[in-house]
């Protein structure tokens, strides 16, 4: 413990030394730069003192803004007063504090420089505090998301596992006395549970692709059409009889994203529409430019979403057995929670809403600012 504390103390002192050197260099460069510029004003203007004083005040602001604490800004302000007196006030090259009116002028300059330095340092401290608070809020949001995901996982995985075990035991114990129809029914149930678990695992693997330290993702420029096409193709393998109508811009739209994660978002939303809408009508997937963003919309024509769940549907809050579907485990679960996590990690936003004939889930991702046509074409992936 003693050695560890000593090492930490050494590292802390080393960081302070490095930071002190950096602050000194910033202050020195700012002071020298302003002094050099002031010599040009001295040659160009008949009475440059006021302009030079303003230059040093700006330098004091820069020194205070980019150094730690108040010390360097205050030292700069004092040095600025002495420099103006020595270099730019007649008689040049000497310090003279007896000139008439000088005391008031340079006292004002000192006060302004000190006030600028202190205000800048206070502003920086406030910005640092706000940054820390935002970081803490982000961490709290991440912890809340983890808790909701764990709660959803504990429910959504335990139930199908119980079903698989129970059905497997039934076949092992009484399989010889079952009819082929009964066996097929049990095997179909096992297959359904296993596929649901596979979907859960894919969602959890998607979360592991997100950097846990900064909730960031490895984004590369991707063509939206390709990501949408891949997502629809994967979805159709799970629901072969489901019709999906896709509208995308005619011109290629590029978005900085992790294509696999965005595909997972689209699959989760379409899966949710299929399972919970209670409708066999086609699912509509629309993509369009929306200002500086790309808007993705998945719309079904079913029962919609309860109004009291629209605000919490992506958080996993309020999920209980009464809100699950009749099969006991195919609730919205972690799917939509992960959608929110992925979209936010991309710097986007997501929301759920109802329309006249069902539900719609929309999310936006930042887009390339190039001027791309919003005209769209219908693509039917039903075949």
- d(CA 199, CA 190) in angstroms, rounded, equals 14
Which residues on adjacent β-strands are paired with residue 296?
A: 287, 363
Residue pair 353/360 in contact (Cβ under 8 Å)? The answer is yes
pLDDT at residue 206, rounded to an integer: 67
pLDDT in tens, 351-372: 999 998 899 999 999 986 554 4
pLDDT at residue 146, rounded to an integer: 65
Picking from 11-25, 282-296, 311-325, 368-382, which range would have the lowest pLDDT averaged per residue? 368-382
- SS3 breakdown of the chain: % helix, strand, coil, rounded to 5? 60, 15, 25
DSSP per-residue string spanning 56-103:
HHHHHHHHHHTSSSSHHHHHHHHHHHHHHHHHSSSSTTS----STTHH
Q: At what angle do helices 180-208 and 259-276 cross, to 10 degrees?
A: 140
- d(CA 339, CA 331) in angstroms, rounded, equals 15
pLDDT at residue 377, rounded to an integer: 44
pLDDT at residue 373, rounded to an integer: 42
- How far, CA to CA in Å, does 351 sit from each of 145, 309, 343? 16, 11, 11
Q: Is the pLDDT of residue 379 over 90?
A: no
- d(CA 212, CA 133) in angstroms, rounded, equals 18
210: left (phi over 0), alpha (psi -120 to 50) or beta: beta
Q: Which two tokens stand for residue 281?
A: 């009508």
338: left (phi over 0), alpha (psi -120 to 50) or beta: alpha
Q: How many CB atoms lie within 10 A of CB 153?
A: 17
Confidence class for position 117, pLDDT limits 50, 70, 90: low
| 113 contacts: CB under 8 Å, gap ≥ 6 | 56, 57, 60, 76, 77, 80, 81
Confidence class for position 293, pLDDT limits 50, 70, 90: very high
Residue pair 254/221 in contact (Cβ under 8 Å)? The answer is yes
pLDDT in tens, 65-87: 777 766 777 788 788 878 887 88
Residue that has been written with the tokens 């991440």 in this structure: 142
pLDDT in tens, 216-229: 577 889 999 999 99
Q: Which CATH class is domain 213-383?
A: alpha beta
Q: At CA 291, angle to CA 356 and CA 234, rounded to 5?
A: 60
Pairing assessment for the beta strands 244-249 and 283-290 based on DSSP bridges:
parallel
% of the chain surpassing 70 pLDDT:
74
Domain boundaries in the chain?
2-136, 213-383
- d(CA 77, CA 112) in angstroms, rounded, equals 9
Q: Is the pLDDT of residue 323 over 50?
A: no
């Amino acid at each position: 413990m003693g050695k560890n504390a000593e090492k930490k103390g050494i590292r802390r002192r080393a960081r302070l030394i490095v930071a002190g050197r950096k602050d000194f260099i910033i202050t020195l460069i700012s002071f020298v730069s302003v002094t050099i510029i002031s010599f040009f004003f001295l040659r160009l203007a008949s009475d440059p003192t006021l302009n030079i004083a303003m230059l040093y005040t700006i330098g004091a602001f820069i020194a205070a803004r980019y150094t730690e604490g108040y010390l360097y800004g205050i030292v700069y302000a004092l040095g600025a007063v002495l420099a103006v007196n020595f270099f730019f006030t007649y008689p040049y090259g000497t310090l003279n504090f007896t000139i008439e009116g000088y005391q008031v002028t340079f006292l004002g300059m000192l006060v302004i420089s000190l006030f600028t330095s202190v205000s800048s340092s206070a502003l920086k401290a406030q910005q640092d505090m706000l940054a820390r608070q935002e970081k803490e809020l982000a961490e709290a949001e991440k912890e809340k998301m983890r808790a909701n995901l764990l709660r959803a996982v504990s429910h959504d995985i335990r139930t199908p596992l119980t079903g698989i075990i129970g059905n497997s035991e039934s076949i092992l114990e009484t399989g010889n006395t079952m009819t082929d129809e009964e066996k097929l029914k049990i095997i179909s149930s096992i297959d359904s549970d296993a596929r649901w678990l596979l979907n859960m695992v894919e969602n959890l693997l998607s979360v592991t692709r997100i950097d846990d330290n900064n909730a960031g993702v490895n984004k590369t420029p991707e063509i939206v059409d390709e990501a949408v096409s891949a997502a629809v193709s994967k979805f159709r393998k799970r629901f072969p009889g489901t019709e999906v109508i896709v509208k995308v811009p005619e011109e290629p739209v590029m978005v900085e994203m992790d294509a696999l994660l965005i595909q997972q978002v689209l699959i989760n939303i379409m899966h949710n529409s299929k399972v919970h809408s209670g409708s066999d009508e086609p699912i509509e997937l629309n993509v369009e430019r929306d200002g500086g963003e790309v808007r993705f919309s998945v719309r079904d024509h079913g029962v919609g979403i309860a109004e009291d769940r629209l605000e919490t549907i992506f958080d996993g809050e309020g999920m209980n057995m009464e809100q699950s579907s009749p099969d006991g485990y195919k609730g919205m679960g972690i799917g939509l929670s992960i959608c929110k996590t992925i979209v936010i990690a991309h710097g986007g936003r997501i929301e759920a809403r109802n329309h006249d004939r069902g539900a719609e889930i929309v999310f936006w991702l930042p887009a390339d600012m190039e001027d791309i046509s919003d005209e769209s074409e219908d693509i039917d992936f039903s075949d």
